Structure 1
Amino acid sequence: MAERARTIGRAGSPADGGTVPAGGPLRRVFASQPWLVDAAVSLVFTTIVVVTLISDVMTEGTEVTAWQVVTIAGTAVALLFRRRAPITVLVAVTLLTTVLGFSAESNLVLAVPIALYAVAAFRSPTAGWLAGAAAFAATGASLFLWLPVLEARLGAPGAFDIPLVLLTIAMADVVGVLLGANTWQRAERVRVLTERAEQLARDRDNLARIATLDERSRIAREMHDIVAHSLSVIVALADGAAAALDRDPDSARRAIDRLADTGREAQRDMRQVLSVLGEVTDGPAALEPAPGRDALADLVSGFREAGLPLRFTVRGTADADPQRDLAVYRIVQEALTNALRYAPDAERVDVVVDSDESATVVTVADDGRGAPAAVGTGRGLIGMAERASVFGGSVEAGPLPSGGWRVRAVLPTERGGDDG
């Protein structure tokens, strides 16, 4: 409840201590110190009551009683706490001004509408209306209870005096509740808008985190493909060079040269990937385009030199989307890397890239009898599936009935997706 009161105090009207963010120094002071507003309200109300009482004493010669002093002081003190405990303050001022003694000669009864305003503003409009009905019932009952005393002091009332007094009190109570409900509703709108802005900020941060995770996943796939491919080729070339060093030095030298070229290519590809992270910004390598379908021939040539008996077939035209073209390249690269790792005894590896208006189909099949690609970590197969899923495609990988392993990836083109 206290937090609710503080929230409304910040968002309420200037007369009640709430301020808008933009304002003069006085408004900023009231916004930071709400108790000053409560003190000002109590002071202004007490001043009006005291001035009215002094005027009556001077013009009509009435006497100030001790009960009037107690009532004025108690009401003034109670109004200081209207923000913290509005219902308690309402009960206190109702008891002081109507129940324990009906203050008909002064403006003290106006403390009840002020307290009702606080109930509606700092609790809720519903609480304000219920409290208003209860306060009016208590005031009406007290009026009839104290009627003999009032008649002895003020004289017999006229035919319309009592209805007029009750109507005036009812209107004052209604105005107090309406003003408080208006303050509560404005504060509620501010709260809703604030929560909505905070939710939008949280959604924005979540989207940023998701985008960051997606980018990290993409970079991780690139790093995996580059490192796995390059290291597999380097290891195969190194083993071949070591085996041919004595019997065929020229072949060993060519293998070593190719090994160095593969290392430099891996370094260049790593530089391209790291440039996305801002880690590498110098040199022309970071500005080179990502590999695509046009680079498949060089890729296949490198695997041939590493020892894979490759047959490479391309049908159709290259994809106009460089990202889809890169996905095709990486899928072929990963599939051949798996074949080099897990099917070293393969006598034939077929790579077919077939493109038409509906999709690009990549098939890499070997007849090896070695361990299947599934014995690895599985990250490569997951990476291929993720690359294909970006474009609404799919990847199937598994053993062939006749032996060996096949990877088949389907990447629909944009035209093909539209047609479907």
Structure 2
Amino acid sequence: MEPVTEHRAPEPLTEYAQRLIHRVRAFDRRHPLLWDLHFTGFWVTAALIDYVGGGWRHNALSLDVPGWLLLTLSLGLSVPLLWRRTHPSAVLAAMAPVAFANAWTGAALQAALLQLALIYHLALRRPLRDLWWATALVIAPVLVSATRHGEGTWDQQIGSHLMSITVAALIGVTVRTRRNYTEALEDRARRLETERDQQAQLATAAERARIAREMHDIIGHNLSVITGLADGGRYAAAKSPERAAQALDAIATTSRQALAELRRLLDVLREEEKQQPDLTPQPGLTDLDRLLDGVRSAGLPVSTTIHGSPTLSAGRQLTVYRVVQEALTNTLKHGGPHTTAEIELSYEERAAVTVTITDTGNGNGSHTGGNSRDGRGLPGMRERTSLYGGTLEAGPRPHRERGWRVRLHLPEESPQ
């Protein structure tokens, strides 16, 4: 079986030329002086060859020009090109007397055409209004030559030079326009990339804040339940071993649930592993019974009163669940012994709901505990509530009643 050889299509000439131009420009940016020396050296050499070889005689209007003057004119029209990019206006002004001498003597050196390179750089780097005086400065020696030596008609000489100046200026303007357009595209790409990075950072920060809030709710609640169960099991161990065994079973169940939810959240942070997204639903109203069973098993009696039928979206159900969870967690932490809790849920039309959680604990403001200081707890509850335009009130119960009250209200859901 013959080996199969892959035949690559020939590279288009335009792509090859563009890549070559890109390399030349990159070399120019890295070594500008070296490039200027090569450019100037080439034209100085060409001017000297024209002088030494006598080629200037074919276009000269007068052959009685001294050799030293020819050498001076050749160098005066070529050497200043070394500064053509940094000081094009000054270089053109410095070459003007040499060009006038070239026209007056009738030498008519071809090196005078190097002034067109200055026209190009003026159009490329200077304001376009500078082209007016530059054109006059280049045309003036032509008028001197036509007046003094009378070779050819004025319109022929001036017309040909004006055409050359126009072409050089148009090339400079074209390159300048393309360069400005490319720079604008690159600047826009940089700004879009910066904006994209900022949006990604904001999205990452928001996601991490959400994960941190979820971890606080999960870990804080389950650890509070485990602590209550452990305290109860310790007291029951001496008198009722069966109750102690039940407490240990409840601790194990609660720990496994907390670990499973924690693993689910941590999977979101695994950026290096590409796996299927976790489709486990977030807690909702149907999970409140299991939550309350765990709290009751930890030693906190909880009673519930429900008015109406729930018609909440998944996001609103999660908010209600987390607020109830956080309120009961704070009661477990700070309520003290013999504390009881009561939950009242009032469902209204169009997904509006009011939830009131009250307890008979100390009611001395310790429910906020360290939560306000660490940015979680009640602040996290208020963040969840604000997502749906709701209100959250938390504080001691009024009218000298002992305990703490948390009241959540989510308004009607606006129609889409």
Q: Please report the TM-score for the alignment, with normalisation by the length of structure 2.
A: 0.78
Q: Is the 8 A contact 1:57 1:63 kept in 2?
A: no
2:360 matched residue in structure 1: 367
Deviation at 1:180, TM superposition (A): 1.7
Alignment pair present for 1:23 and 2:20: no
Q: What is the identity percentage for the equivalent residue pairs of Structure 1 and Structure 2?
A: 33
1:336-355: CA deviation from partner (whole Å, max 9, x where unpaired): 10121122256542223333
Q: Aligned pair in 2 of structure 1 residues 139, 288: CA closer, same or farther (>3 Å)?
A: closer
Q: 1:79 aligns with which of 64, 78, 81?
A: 81
CA contact (8 A) 1:110 1:172 kept: no
Equivalent in the alignment of 2:172: 180
- Matched residue type, 1:62: L
Correspondent of 2:116 among 97, 109, 113: 113
Question: In the aligned structure 1, how far is the partner of 2:390 from the partner of 2:18?
Answer: 62
Partner of 2:7: none
Q: In structure 2, do the counterparts of structure 1 residues 362 and 107 end up closer, same or farther at CA, with 3 Å as the change threshold?
A: farther
Q: Do the aligned partners of residues 46 and 186 (structure 1) sit closer, same or farther apart at CA in structure 2, a change above 3 Å counting?
A: farther
* 2:57 match: 57
- State the AA in 2 paired with 1:299: L
Query: What residue is the counterpart of 2:134 in the other structure?
Result: 135
Amino acid at match of 1:352: E
- Root-mean-square deviation (CA), in Å? 3.7
Give the corresponding residue for 2:196. Answer: 204
The yes-or-no answer on 1:223 pairing with 2:225 is: no
Q: Give the structure 2 partner of residue 269 of structure 1.
A: 261
Q: What is the letter of the counterpart of residue 396 of structure 1?
A: E
Partner deviation per Cα, 1:365-407 (whole Å, 9 max, x = no partner): 2232243223323121111122223334342222321343222
Is 1:384 paired with 2:399? no
1:398 aligns with 2:401: no
CA distance in 1, matches of 2:181, 2:287: 60
Per-residue CA distance 1:255-304 (angstroms, 9 max, x = gap):
222122111111111111112122999xx996643322211101011111
Corresponding position of 1:357:
350
Of residues 315, 318, 332 in structure 2, which corresponds to 1:326? 318
The TM-score with structure 1 as length reference comes to 0.77
What residue is the counterpart of 2:224 in the other structure?
232
Deviations along 1:41-85, one digit per CA (max 9) or x if unpaired, are 874797599669955625878255432322223332322442343
Shift of 1:21: 7.9
Q: Measure, in 1, the Cα distance between the counterparts of 2:280 and 2:59.
A: 99
Q: Does 1:300 align with 2:292?
A: yes
d(CA) in 1 for partners of 2:136, 2:181: 32
What whole-Å deviation, never above 9, does each CA across 1:136-182 have from its counterpart, x for those lacking one?
Answer: 454566678x679x62xx25x89x63x76556555544443333222
In structure 1, list runs of 5 or more residues that go unmatched: 1-19
Q: CA deviation at 1:244?
A: 2.4
Q: Counterparts of 2:118 and 2:25 in 1: how far apart (Å)? A: 20
SS at match of 2:371: coil
Give the AA of the match of 2:116: P
Q: CA 1:206–1:309 in 2, change beyond 3 Å: closer, same or farther?
A: same
SS of residue in 2 equivalent to 1:418: coil
Quote the Cα distance in structure 2 between the aligned partners of 1:386 and 1:280.
30
**247-256 or 48-57, larger mean C-alpha shift:** 48-57
Alpha-carbon distance change, 280 to 244 in structure 1, aligned in 2, over 3 angstroms: farther
Q: Structure 2: how far apart are the matches of 1:280 and 1:354?
A: 45
Cα 1:384–1:184 change in 2 (3 A) is: same
What letter matches 2:385 in structure 1? A
Seen in structure 2, the aligned counterparts of structure 1 residues 351 and 67 have a Cα distance that, compared at 3 Å, is farther
* CA 285–73 in structure 1, closer or farther in 2 if over 3 Å, else same: closer
Question: Separation in 2 of the partners of 1:59 and 1:310?
Answer: 112
SS at match of 1:371: coil
Distance in 2 of aligned mates of 1:25 and 1:272? 51
Q: How far apart, in 2, do the equivalents of 1:93 and 1:59 lie?
A: 20
Measured at CA, do residues 317 and 303 of structure 1 come closer, stay the same or move farther in structure 2, by a change above 3 Å? same
Distance 1:371 1:346, change over 3 A: farther
User: How far apart, CA to CA, are the structure 2 residues paired with 1:367 and 1:230?
Assistant: 21
8 Å contact kept, 2:74–2:109? no
Name stretches of at least 5 consecutive residues in structure 2 with no aligned partner: 1-13
Show the counterpart of 1:191: 183
270-279 vs 135-144, greater mean Cα deviation? 135-144
Contact 2:92/2:115 (8 A) holds in 1: yes
The 3 A distance-change label for structure 1 pair 133 and 396 is same
Is the Cα contact below 8 Å between 1:300 and 1:310 reproduced in 2?
A: yes
